[in-house]
Amino acid sequence: MKKITESEIEMLWGEVGPYSEAKISINTRILDDRVSRIMLEVEGFINPTTFRVIKKNQDKFLDDPMLCQLLETAVYRGKGFGYHISAGTEEFHDNRAMGRARIRLDYMRETIIKMHKFVMKYYGIEERPAPQGKESNQDLKQFSLKNWKVR
């Protein structure tokens, strides 16, 4: 377990633990006076401390191709945005495209959670219970976009 500095805590983005994001964006491209196409983009933002700790310990993740690819392709966007990662952009024609985007988002989410768990163990950060009135961490682990219906 390594002692965490104040600047490393600040760059975790969470109050006392790591915070990152993974999301699907629906982008509408407008050309002249009409919609030319709709794109689905799967992307994420990794807090700087998590990314740097994982990068420094990447030899422990050689058996995880998703994480290795994330480390190779992430782009630093500054203190407030951290490391940007992309799992691709695809034109939205039908629900199959959304299904593929959901699968990529699930992989990204699980990879980020794996990174956060490593960083928490690395610094000795204990898992905190969910605040009252909110879903528990276990409930959130069960959440999957695969169950969502697109109309």
Q: Give tens-digit pLDDT for 30-84.
A: 999 999 999 999 999 999 999 999 999 999 999 999 999 999 999 999 988 999 9
- The more confidently predicted of residues 9 and 53 is 53
Residue 145, pLDDT score: 46
Could you give the number of structural domains in the chain? Answer: 1
pLDDT value for 86: 95
Q: Tokens 């276990």 correspond to what residue? A: 138
Q: Looking at the domain assignment, is residue 151 inside a domain? A: no
Quote the domain boundaries for residue 81: 6-146
CB atoms < 10 A from the CB of 20, how many? 22
- Alpha carbon distance 93, 76 (integer Å): 31
pLDDT digits (tens, 9 = 90+) for 98-144: 999 999 999 999 999 999 999 999 999 988 776 666 554 455 445 45
Q: Is residue 1 part of a domain?
A: no
Q: Is 68 helix (H, G, I), strand (E, B) or coil?
A: helix
State yes or no: pLDDT of 16 exceeds 50: yes
Distance CA 59, CA 99 (A): 32
pLDDT given for residue 135 in this prediction? 54
Phi-psi region of 13 (alpha: psi -120 to 50; beta: other; left: phi over 0): left
The most distant pair of C-alpha atoms in the chain lies apart, rounded to whole Å, by 58
Residue 13 lies in a domain: yes
Q: Is 24 helix (H, G, I), strand (E, B) or coil?
A: strand
Residue 4: pLDDT band (50, 70, 90) is confident
Residue 2 has what pLDDT? 87
* Residue 40 pLDDT: 97
Statement: the pTM of the whole predicted model exceeds 0.95? no
Give the mean pLDDT of 4-31.
90
